A and B are shown apart, each in its own frame.
Chain A
Amino acid sequence: MVQTTVSNSMGNKQERYDALVTVYSADLFRYALWLCRHRPMAEDLVQETFLRAWKSLHSLRDDKAAKTWLFTILRRENARQYERYSPGFVDDYDFDGVADDANEDDEQVAQLRESINMLADEYREPLTLQVIAGYSSKEIAEILDLTPGTVNTRVFRARKQLMELMSAGGQSVVQGVTG
């Protein structure tokens, strides 16, 4: 359906751009937030990504490649931002969205977010691309310039560490997995 939406707009740059924004902005924001863990910077990254996409939309020949194209632009833009601003920005990552009347699931999600936040970048990034963007190991490998085997190893270790962190925090959901 999305492919259709984007493809139908091939002839009109503005419509094509709007379709890309509508379809991919949420995923890009989530990816950006897990990359930089700073909400204002994440939003800035997404805006900058789409600005660059607008300027070079003519170079996107195949709309099937739009998603990977946008994720790659964002990743490069993040690298530039780090070059400009890092180190020193205050990490104001928070866990908003967890309801006040938090139930057991909400608490586990909140603890899992803290655990994801503690993962090394090299583990968190491929896991984020897999879970949020639904990419295969091969696709992640292309985006991160790694081999698929390395990607598999990193997402394996990422999940294992998350389970260990959750178990250490007393969350029963993973005890059966690791035990």
Chain B
Amino acid sequence: MNCVEFRRHCLQEGVLLDQPATAHLETCSECQRFFQHQTRFESLLASAMAVPVPEALVSRIKLRKSFAPRWNIRHYAMVAMLLLSVGAGLRLFYGPAPLDEALLAHALESHAYRSAADQPMPLAKVSQIAGGLGAQLTSLSDIRYAGHCRIHGRMAVHLLVNTDMGRYTLFLMPNQPLEQRISHEIDGHEVVMFPSGKGSVGVVVPAGSDWVESTEQQVREAVSWSV
């Protein structure tokens, strides 16, 4: 693969490189510079495409299905308006979804469309993505997905990590400060968040896993910040 083919590949596939492209990248400093810009662009593109989803979308989908056989659209609209009003009131009262719920929702959503790689991602690529937000990772060797995402409107690094005991989701959030460690069990998952650098780190594992503590300890040791 030459430089022109490599750049064309990037503009067709984003930053998901196949073997020939990866091999070219390792040997070409010009394309490494290009790839850095491209990674930044893809991060922005993903953020731009990920438009906010209406708060009560899932509820309204289920509601419409429930009423569809018996109600006409006017009845549905009235109930939807009522729910919207209640939802808006609750949202005003309680504010946005808590951080742990946002992390879990994002982790589950992402599983829906991101097929994790069959093999560990190259560490150089993971470092590049994490470094884009000022994070450094050591000793997390088997990462199957790494990308940027938005949590509560702030950029974060999103990772899927394989271990012998199972897979977990890791969020590195340089712009989400946290005062103390928080751990909650939500919908069959355990979400652990703790302060890290000027921001925080979130870990999402299946509830009841007996490897939560060791995972948290491993993550604490693996993550450091340059910001």
Contacts and interface: CB of A to CB of B under 8 A. Distances in A.
Interface of A: 1-2, 17-18, 21-27, 29-30, 33-34, 39, 43, 46-47, 50-51, 54, 67, 96-99, 105-106, 108-109, 112-113, 116, 128, 130-134, 137, 152, 155-156, 159-160, 162-163, 173-174, 176-177
A29 B53 contact: yes
A173 B40 contact: yes
Given A43-B54, A47-B64, A27 B109 contact: yes
Nearest to B63: A47
A132 B68 CA distance: 29
A112 B51 CA distance: 12
B45 interface: yes
Contacts of B60: 43, 47
A159 B11 contact: yes
User: Contact residue range for chain B?
Assistant: 35 or more
Interface string B51-69: 1111001101110110010
Interface of B: 8, 11-14, 33-34, 36-38, 40-41, 44-54, 57-58, 60-62, 64-65, 68, 108-109, 111-115, 153, 155, 167
B49 A34 contact: yes
11 contacts: A2-B108, A30-B53, A96-B52, A97-B51, A113-B51, A131-B45, A134-B113, A134-B114, A156-B8, A159-B41, A177-B34
Contacts of B46: 131
Contacts of A133: 113
Contacts of A30: 49-51, 53
A147 to B, nearest CB: 14
B197 to A, nearest CB: 17
B106 to A, nearest CB: 9
Contacts of A2: 108, 111-112
A168 B202 CA distance: 38
